[in-house]
């Protein structure tokens, strides 16, 4: 597995220059003035997404913001580092040990999540709130910090945990219908030294690990910032619109967005949170470009294409006059062939389409 490099060689580089790229986070972290620089250990050899991401997240914390990364499997060296990730066979947050390979390990994130944690999930579980709070510039006890903490785990970290622990996304024995090698885990894996690479030295492997940390870290930061700048504000909008759904239609199954935003990220969670029954079937919103009003059928779940109640079959594929004639609703623009979306020139027309579809 490790070729001529051996199992016990350790490699160290200063990670602080890399962290300067994360200016929003970095600016809020205190400079480590301790003479002895902290060291974070992880295993050498083939690297994976979980430990590259775990190293990145840990180095975003105040305690480890200026840390060095030590890559080794030498237990004598690992005993002396300030933190050890994905190696060592110990999970003990008090001593900063975050491995998940040992027999009997069953730690999960909690908060309703039951996926076994990898080193990434372990570090995020203990340091994620600090990282999120600094990005939002809020106290860790603020409810928005907790919401983002859970959302980033659900939409980013949990998949890293599951893939590293060999947990399938679906309970099925059927083969996949297509190959998907574009996940973060796949892309991190391809950054390992190829067997055809003539230089298989320790320093070359460290360079590859550094690039993998950069890739995992940049996507983590993108996820955090998206949720901070877009996800949270959209959640507030969807919450308000759900509360007003009976003003739109007495059925309570049609929601009108007051402002176009990524509603699909929230509607399922909020429906469950505030116990909406019956669930929303259609969402109406104005298209910023054409000023037409869209009617979109809500899917049966966030990861499925099927709609809870698609637009009528007889409307699908029709446009303009033909659609208006077929539906007896003026101002129709189109209905998609799959029936998941359509449009009308006016809000009143889109609402009429939604009401007719409910009763179809």
112: left (phi over 0), alpha (psi -120 to 50) or beta: left
Q: What is the predicted pLDDT for the residue at 117? A: 98
Same domain (yes/no): 44, 129: yes
Q: What is the predicted pLDDT for the residue at 15? A: 45
Place of tokens 């300067």: 20
Q: Residue 33: inside a domain, yes or no?
A: no
Decide which of 215, 230, 245 is a domain's last residue: 230
Same domain (yes/no): 194, 113: yes
Same domain (yes/no): 224, 291: no
Buried b / exposed e over 42-71, threshold 16 CB at 10 Å, is bbbbebbbbbbbbbbbbbbbebbbbbbbbb
Q: Residue 220: inside a domain, yes or no?
A: yes
Domain, as residue range, for 79: 39-169+184-230
Q: Residue 267: inside a domain, yes or no?
A: no
Q: Residue 334: inside a domain, yes or no?
A: yes
Chain center to CA of 98:
21
Give the strands of the sheet with 254-256, arranged side by side: 254-256, 282-286, 293-297, 341-344, 332-335
Here the contacts of 142-151 (C-beta below 8 Å, separation 24 or greater) are 144/232, 147/232, 147/235, 148/224, 148/227, 148/228, 148/231, 148/232, 150/111, 151/227, 151/231
Q: Residue 17: inside a domain, yes or no?
A: no
Decide which of 196, 215, 230 is a domain's last residue: 230
Same domain (yes/no): 78, 223: yes
Same domain (yes/no): 226, 304: no
At residue 247, the 3 state secondary structure works out as helix
Q: Residue 298: inside a domain, yes or no?
A: yes
* Residue 356: count of CB within 10 angstroms of its CB: 15
How many domains would you assign to the chain?
Answer: 2
What H or E segment, with its residue span, contains residue 114?
Answer: strand 113-116
Q: What is the predicted pLDDT for the residue at 169? A: 87
Q: What is the predicted pLDDT for the residue at 12? A: 45
Same domain (yes/no): 107, 220: yes
Q: What is the predicted pLDDT for the residue at 129? A: 98
Q: What is the predicted pLDDT for the residue at 160? A: 98
Q: What is the predicted pLDDT for the residue at 91? A: 98
Give the β-pairing of 83-85 and 332-335.
unpaired
Same domain (yes/no): 133, 208: yes
Q: What is the predicted pLDDT for the residue at 31? A: 38
Q: Residue 342: inside a domain, yes or no?
A: yes
Q: Which two tokens stand for residue 194?
A: 């190829």
User: Concatenated DSSP letters for 8-19?
Assistant: S--EEEE-HHHH
Buried b / exposed e over 140-156, threshold 16 CB at 10 Å, is eeeebbebbbbbbbeeb
Same domain (yes/no): 296, 148: no
Q: Residue 249: inside a domain, yes or no?
A: no
Report how far residue 3's alpha carbon sits from residue 86's, in angstroms, rounded to the nearest whole number.
Answer: 20
- Could you say which DSSP state residue 5 is in? G
Closest CA to 153 of 182, 131, 134: 131
Closest CA to 282 of 265, 263, 261: 263
At residue 343, the 3 state secondary structure works out as strand
Q: How far is CA 118 from CA 39, 110, 316, in A?
A: 20, 14, 46
Secondary-structure breakdown of the chain: helix, strand, coil percentages, each rounded to the nearest 5: 45, 15, 45
Same domain (yes/no): 333, 226: no
Same domain (yes/no): 68, 205: yes
Can you give the pLDDT of all 360 residues of the chain as single tens digits?
Answer: 333 333 334 444 444 444 444 444 444 333 344 448 999 999 999 999 999 999 999 999 999 998 999 999 999 999 999 999 999 999 999 999 999 999 999 999 999 999 999 999 999 999 999 999 999 999 999 999 999 999 999 999 999 999 999 998 888 888 888 998 999 999 999 999 999 999 999 999 999 999 999 999 999 999 999 999 999 999 999 999 999 999 999 999 999 999 989 898 899 999 999 999 999 999 999 998 888 999 999 999 888 889 999 999 999 999 999 999 999 999 999 999 999 999 999 999 999 999 999 998
Same domain (yes/no): 223, 309: no
Same domain (yes/no): 66, 149: yes
């Amino acid at each position: 597995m490790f070729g001529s490099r051996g199992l016990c060689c350790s490699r160290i580089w200063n990670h602080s220059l890399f962290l300067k790229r994360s200016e929003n986070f970095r600016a809020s972290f205190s400079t480590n003035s301790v003479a002895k620089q902290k060291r974070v250990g992880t295993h050498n050899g083939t690297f994976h997404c979980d430990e590259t991401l775990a190293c990145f997240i840990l180095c975003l914390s105040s305690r480890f913001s200026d840390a060095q990364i030590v890559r080794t499997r030498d237990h004598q060296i690992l005993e002396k580092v300030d933190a050890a990730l994905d190696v060592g066979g110990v999970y003990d947050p008090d001593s900063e040990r975050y491995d998940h390979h040992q027999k009997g390990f069953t730690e999960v994130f909690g908060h309703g999540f039951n996926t076994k944690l990898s080193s990434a999930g372990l570090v995020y579980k203990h340091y994620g709130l600090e990282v999120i709070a600094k990005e939002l510039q809020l106290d860790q006890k603020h409810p928005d910090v907790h919401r983002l903490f859970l959302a980033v785990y659900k939409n980013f970290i949990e998949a890293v945990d599951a893939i590293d622990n060999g947990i399938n996304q679906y309970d099925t024995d059927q083969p996949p219908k297509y190959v998907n090698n574009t996940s973060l885990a796949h892309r991190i894996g391809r950054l390992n030294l190829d067997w055809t690479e003539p230089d298989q030295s320790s320093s070359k492997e460290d360079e590859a690990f550094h690039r993998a940390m950069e890739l995992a870290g940049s996507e983590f930061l993108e996820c955090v910032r998206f949720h901070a700048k877009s996800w949270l504000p959209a959640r507030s909008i969807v919450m308000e619109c759900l509360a007003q759904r009976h003003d739109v239609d007495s059925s309570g199954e049609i929601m009108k967005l007051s402002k176009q935003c990524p509603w699909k990220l929230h509607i399922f969670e909020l429906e469950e949170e505030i116990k909406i029954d019956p669930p929303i079937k259609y969402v109406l919103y104005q298209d910023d470009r054409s000023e037409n009003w869209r009617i979109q059928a809500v899917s049966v779940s966030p990861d499925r294409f099927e709609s809870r109640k698609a637009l009528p079959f007889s409307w699908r594929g029709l446009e303009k006059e033909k659609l208006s004639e077929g539906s007896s609703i003026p101002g129709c623009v189109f209905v998609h062939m799959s029936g998941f979306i359509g449009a009308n020139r006016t809000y009143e027309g889109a609402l009429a389409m939604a009401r007719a579809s409910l009763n179809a």
